[in-house]
Structures are given as structure tokens and as C-alpha cells.
Amino acid sequence: MGIFIHSIAQISNQEPFSDKWFSEPIIYNERYVRSIEPDFSTYISPMITRRMGKIIKRALATALHITKQTGIDNPDAIITGTGLGCIEHTEKFIAAMLENNEELLPPTYFMQSTHNTISSQIAIHLKCNGYNNTYSHRGTSFDSALFDACIQFELGEIHTAMVNGHDELTPNYFLLLDKIGYWKEGQITEQRLREGNTRGSFAGECSVSFMLGNSLRPDSICQLKGMELLYQPTKEQLTNAVDSLLQKNNLTRNDIDVLVTGVNGDRENDVIYREMHSSIFPRKPMVWYKHIFGESYTSSGLGLYAAATILQKAFIPQSLLYNACTEEITIPKNILVYNHFQDKDHSLTLLSSCLD
């Protein structure tokens, strides 16, 4: 038994539902870029989406895209990670409450403000009575959702799972996070992000859905071999966690072909990745993705998508390479995805190609 990724769908600042970013990413210089919206009516009737916030529309679209692609329209589990939840509706309700001094408030914004609206709206739409969960844990919200799915598979409770990562970034919340140093000042360029010698990153939004299953199918993209979540690990604990994850899968450090990291241009954020890379995988290619998709609490979901796409297409495009690696790049078979948030919560995810 293993865990396989059968299908992935994304809505981001890149062309929706497409891998075009892999060869020709859209380059932005603005500090804050919102997602490119697909034609939602292809997926869901405008009658239904009329009262929905952006995040719910996007979530239903990515969910329905992968159910259609795989034919798995009743997954055994629906698990979502979201850092801020339905922040658009949350803000609208706060604003109305303050403006009207707690009187004559409409219920709609509140009803769709809770974080679990995403997983439950998908379940209501697909009529899934199975396991349904929502994680909201800062930059490892998506990682927590994926980890929960791995545990459900391991316990034999499920055969299929839909795992999602969703965050919308409203103009107000962009401003709030800007005040506390989340975003770079001035124009965004790849070079500035790569140098990573100032504070802040490039702001994005994320909607991504994965369909997982415990049997290999002709359409399987890659295998998810294992995961680890760590809180405030010492360097030694992090190294041990990497080695033990590899060992459990009969791999050595040398078998890892690519390290995918959440480097985002922020000085304090990036140094953690660089140190990990140079101490554990010094000669291996290091990949980044946040310079393309931007930073959000669930952008690690797009990191997993980037890693899976590298395995599927069996090469690393130049645009994803962060370092000038010394080793000749072979066809990637095993990828370690490493993510941390403010050096508190860390995650490791091991992906392998389907053929091994």
C-alpha cells in the first residue's frame, strides 16, 4: 500500500487549472497579486455561487475539477487547510457590526465566515458523509491537513482523500500584514527575492486541491511516501527527522534528487532553508516556488504541487532552480519538500515518482 496523488488543481496568480507556469510563468512586479479567476460557471451554477465569497467559489471549482478528472466524486475524506479562513466575509461582518453598532446585521456573512465553511460546502455539494476536517495553523495549515490524510490512510480508515489548501488575501488584510513586515517594500523582482537580504515577501493567494488514493492508477502523478510535522526543532532534531523519514522509506540522503523549499525573499525566513540545504543536501538542486506563486499561509500546498509536477514532467525548469547546483541533474525520482513558518512549525514531505 502507498499513497498516490492522482490529480491536482490550482487557482492562483498563474493560469488556473494549467501547468503553463512550469514552462512559462507569468512574472509580476507588484507586491500584491490576486488570483486569476476561472469561469466559475463551467463548474457550478451562478445561482449557487451568487452569495458565495471568492474563497468558497475557488474551493468548489478546484474540488470539482479533480473529482471530474479522477471520477472520484465521493472521497472518503475531505480535509482543508486555511490560515485565515473566509476572511472576506469575516471582514464584511466586522465592518457592518462596527458601522451599525451591532444592529440590523445580515446573517449571510457570518454564516460563511467560519473556517470550516470550505470543507463543509464541498461535502454538501458532493454529498460526502465521511471524514471532514479543517486545519488553521498559520503557515503549516495545508501541511496539517495533508498529515491528517496520511494518518487516515495509515489507520486504514480511508481509500481516497481530497486535501485542499485555501487562502484569499483581501486588500485590507494585505495592508494589515504589510504593517508588520510580511511584504517587501518597492518593486518585486526575482533578483530581489533571490538575494533575500531584506524583510518581506511577495503576496499571493492560494487555492489548491489534491486527490489522493491508496492504489496506483494509470493517471497517478506521484507517490506521497511520508510526512513529519515538527515544532521548534533544534538543528539536530530536524536532521534526525529528515534521516528517519528517509530511512523508513529505505532511502539515503543521496537518493533525494531535489529539495523543494519555501524560500520567499524574506531574510529571516530564507536563512533557515539555506542552512538546512547546505547542512543536509549540499550538492543537490534546491527549488523554490513562492517567487512565482507568492506567499500565503497555505502556499506550501503550491509547493507540493510544484514538487509533484517536477516528478510528473521528470525535469526541473530553470525558473524553479534557486541555487546553482554542482551536481548534474538526473531525472528526479525522490523529492523532499521542506516548509517552515517563522521557524516555529516545520514540515517535511517525501514524494517519489510512481515507478520504483
Partner 1 sequence: MIPQILITGMGIVTGLGIGKTNTLQALRQKQTGIGKVHYLQTIHKEFPVGEVPLTNEQIFQLLDIEPEKIYTRTALLGRIALKEALQEANITKKRPGKIAFISGTTVGGMDKSEQYYTDFLSNNSKNEYIETHDCGATTNLIAAEYNGVFDMMTTLSTACSSAANAIILGANLIKTGKVDVAVVGGSECLSKFHFNGFNTLMILDKQPCRPFDKTRAGLNLGEGAAYLVLESEESVKEREITPICKLSGYANTCDAHHQTASSPDGEGAYLAMTKSLKQSNLQSKDIDYINAHGTGTQNNDETEEIAIMRVFGDNVPHISSTKSFTGHTTSAAGSVESVISILALQYNFIPVNLNFSQPMNERSFIPATQSEPTRTLKHVLTNSFGFGGNDSACIFSRID
Residues engaged in binding partner 1 (CB under 8 A)? 78, 82-85, 90, 93-95, 97-98, 101-103, 105-107, 110-117, 119-121, 123-124, 126-138, 140-141, 144, 147-148, 151-152, 154-155, 172, 175-177, 179-180, 229-233, 237, 297, 344-345
Decide whether 145 or 287 has the Cβ nearer to partner 1.
145
- 8 A C-beta contact, residue 152 and residue 158: yes
**C-alpha closest to that of 66 among 152, 141, 165:** 165
Q: How far is the CB of 200 from partner 1 (least distance, A)?
A: 14
Q: How far is the CB of 179 from partner 1 (least distance, A)?
A: 5
* Residue with the three cell numbers 546553482: 324
Q: Answer left, alpha or beta for residue 136, where phi above 0 means left and psi between -120 and 50 means alpha.
A: beta
Residue whose C-alpha is closest to residue 337's, from 216, 199, 245? 245
Q: 127 vs 191, which CB is nearer to partner 1?
A: 127
In the bound state with partner 1, the residue whose beta carbon lies nearer, of 180 and 355, is 180
* Minimum distance, C-beta of residue 28 to partner 1, in the bound complex (Å): 24
Query: Rounded to whole angstroms, how far apart are CA atoms 78 and 44?
Result: 19
Nearest residue (CB) to partner 1, 39 versus 103: 103
Cβ at position 97, least distance to partner 1 in Å: 5
CB 54 within 8 A of CB 88: yes
Closest approach, Cβ 52 to partner 1, in A, equals 11
Query: Please, are residues 286 and 270 in contact by the beta-carbon 8 Å criterion?
Result: no
Q: Which is nearer to partner 1, 78 or 258 (CB)?
A: 78
Nearer to partner 1, 152 or 261 (CB): 152
Question: Which amino acid is present at 211?
Answer: M
Name the residue nearer to partner 1 (CB basis): 138 or 194: 138
Q: What is each CA distance from 310 to 140, 316, 348, in whole angstroms?
A: 22, 6, 17
Plot region of 269 (φ>0 → left; ψ -120 to 50 → alpha; else → beta): alpha
CB nearer partner 1, residue 155 or residue 324: 155
Shortest CB 24 distance to partner 1, Å: 34
- Distance (Å) of CA 54 to CA 113, 125, 175, 212, 290: 12, 16, 19, 25, 21
Q: One-letter amino acid identity for 178? A: D
SS3 102: coil
Residue 314: partners with Cβ closer than 8 Å, 6 or more residues away: 331, 332, 353
Round the CA-based radius of gyration of the chain to a whole number and report it.
Answer: 20
Residue (84 or 311) nearer to partner 1, CB: 84
Report in angstroms how near the CB of residue 302 gets to partner 1 at its nearest: 18
CB of 291 to partner 1, least distance (A): 24
Q: In the bound complex, what is the minimum distance in angstroms from residue 293's beta carbon to partner 1?
A: 20
E strands, 139-285, are: 160-167, 206-213, 222-231, 258-261
Number of C-beta neighbours around residue 295 at 10 A: 27
Residue type, 280: I
